[in-house]
Amino acid sequence: MMIGQSVSELHELLVRKEVSSVELTKAYIERIHTVDPELKAYLTVTEDQAMVHASEVDRKIAQNDVLGVLAGIPMALKDNMCTEGVRTSCASKMLENFIPPYNATVTDRLKAAGTILLGKVNMDEFAMGSSTENSYFAKTRNPWDLQRVPGGSSGGAAVAVAADEAAFALGSDTGGSVRQPAAFCGVVGLKPTYGAVSRYGLIAFASSLDQIGPLTKTVRDNALVLNAIAGYDPMDSTSVAYEKPDYTKFLVNDIKGLKIGIPSEYFGEGIDQDVARGIRAGIQTLIDLGAEVSECSLPHTEYAIPAYYLIATAEASSNLARYDGVRYGYRTEAEDVLGMFKTTRADGFGQEVKRRIMLGTYALSSGYYDAYYLKAQKVRTLIKQDFDKAFEKFDVLLSPTAPTPAFKFGEKSSDPLTMYLSDITTVPINLAGIPAISIPAGFVGGMPIGMQFMGKAFDEGTLYRVAYTFEQNTQYHTLKPSLSGEVLARGSR
């Protein structure tokens, strides 16, 4: 069926007029109605709007206009990216009825590319979590095993792609929130270099760490989407004016002579041994394809989790101070203003969000700023220097994306520290501001695992090259869940 195909394949069908954008959009909407009551990937489905936009694309096709590669392609956005006139809730009671008056820059860029927005997908509340168990509305289920989490916080986006509920989706990645769910759901997820993709209109969690990235079925699709959303934006003060390449030019099936470093710290304590074996089998594949592989060290890795959770929570406590019941969002009435502030925040935020606000406020409080937040920023610099030193010798670094396959619901939610350690291999990349990509690399116990490639700042091209080569010489990306327990090849549904 056409909805199981990649963006590139769908584009060819549209160009050859073998299918219309309206037909394609209808097929995805029907798919959502069929499987999403069980999966709960979507919070809002924009069915009427999608059909109108699909009709506009079909008119251009009928006029034989040049069709952009993303034109007419149905997609989804994580529900923390502003969409004018469409609810943007951050999966929180606080923003349950918030309708933004403007679009995020990525929303505008995808709209300009002619994509069809199917709706907004579920997430951990305000992007705080690693399992999508923290959503106010529902728990999204992993299509490979409905008793397991899809990862987080971009769990809805990963599930939408894995279960053929969207051709691609955008997520946000603060400490692994695109890459970890991509690994858990068997899709491709990229966290671009900080500043490569505009954050304007992305509802902030931790401003110095957040970055929007694409989740797709294939590496080629990922490059196509990054082409559309990357680039300088004057509306974002952290956006970088760099010479953006055509990322599809790097999709060559050749890594002969490429130098790949394997950080020993990323295969240490906490990494499931079956996951490690699966990734090492992938490393052997890369060696067989001509890559030069050797071990390296990132010595400050052990400090990444504590540094990350100090910096991220401190920035969250500042960013979320705006939700006070006065300007917009949820509001609880009280006898006085102070009471209104307290009850609004107590009722409007979930447990994990309140936990992180309190941790961050404590870290920034008088007498503790130097001991905690400032020290964490110094550690962040050391972590970045570790990467800089490693990239003097290697073109890319390689690790497991997550230390385990997808875990069962409730398995880690009662112990926040255990949950936080799910991000042990991803948070250093956000602290350093460098790009990283997760691609399907095998299965453990019937669940997908991901291989992560890390690159130099603004060198997404090399990441695409090595990821594409691995993908073209393996079959993992061709497999998808059937939602009935058996694995089917993509397109065979």
Return d(Cα 123, Cα 194) in angstroms, integer: 21
SS3 content of the chain, % helix, strand, coil (to 5): 45, 15, 40
Which spans in 421-474 are helix H? Answer: 427-432, 460-472
- Give the up-direction half-sphere exposure of residue 86: CA atoms within 13 A in the CB hemisphere: 24
* 177 assigned to active site: yes
DSSP 119-149: EEE--SGGG--SSS---SS----BTTBTTB-
What pTM was computed for the model?
Answer: 0.96
* Nearby residues of 388 by Cβ (< 8 Å), 6 or more positions away: none
> Is 2-241+253-264+389-489 in CATH node 2.40.280.10?
no
Domain positions in the chain: 2-241+253-264+389-489
Predicted confidence at residue 485, as pLDDT, reads 46
In eight-state DSSP terms, residue 234 is T
Predicted confidence at residue 493, as pLDDT, reads 34
| Contact of 371 with 110, CB cutoff 8 Å | no
| Contact of 353 with 398, CB cutoff 8 Å | no
DSSP 278-344: HHHHHHHHHHHTT-EEEEE--TTGGGHHHHHHHHHHHHHHHHGGG-SSSSSS-----SSHHHHHHHH
177 upstream amide cis, omega within 30 of 0? no
Predicted confidence at residue 484, as pLDDT, reads 54
DSSP 50-94: HHHHHHHHHHHHHTTPPPPTTTT-EEEEETTB-BTTB---TTSGG
Length of the chain: 493
β-bridge mates for residue 436, sequence order? 191, 454
| Contact of 429 with 191, CB cutoff 8 Å | yes
Main-chain phi, psi angles of 4, to 5 degrees: -85, 0
For the chain (493 residues), the mean pLDDT of every run of 10, in chain order, is 89 96 98 97 98 97 94 98 98 97 98 98 97 97 97 97 98 98 98 98 98 98 98 98 97 98 93 96 98 98 96 96 92 92 95 96 90 95 98 98 96 84 93 98 97 98 98 95 60 39
In eight-state DSSP terms, residue 418 is H
Predicted confidence at residue 3, as pLDDT, reads 87
Predicted confidence at residue 420, as pLDDT, reads 83
Tokens 């392609």 belong to residue: 73
* Nearby residues of 6 by Cβ (< 8 Å), 6 or more positions away: 167, 216, 217, 218, 220, 221, 490
Burial class of residue 294 (count of CB atoms within 10 Å of its CB; 0-12, 13-18, 19+): exposed
Return d(Cα 238, Cα 196) in angstroms, integer: 9
Main-chain phi, psi angles of 425, to 5 degrees: -95, -5
* 414 assigned to active site: no
Distance between start and end Cα atoms, the chain? 6
| Contact of 364 with 317, CB cutoff 8 Å | yes
* Nearby residues of 107 by Cβ (< 8 Å), 6 or more positions away: 77, 81, 82, 83, 84, 117, 201
* 422 assigned to active site: no
Return d(Cα 467, Cα 453) in angstroms, integer: 8
Return d(Cα 436, Cα 397) in angstroms, integer: 9
Identify the active-site residue in 89, 130, 172, 177. Answer: 177
- CA distances in angstroms from 241 to 188, 230, 430, listed in the order given: 26, 10, 20
Identify the active-site residue in 6, 130, 153, 438. Answer: 153
Identify the active-site residue in 40, 78, 120, 191. Answer: 78
- CA distances in angstroms from 76 to 44, 51, 106, 228, 457, listed in the order given: 10, 14, 12, 15, 27
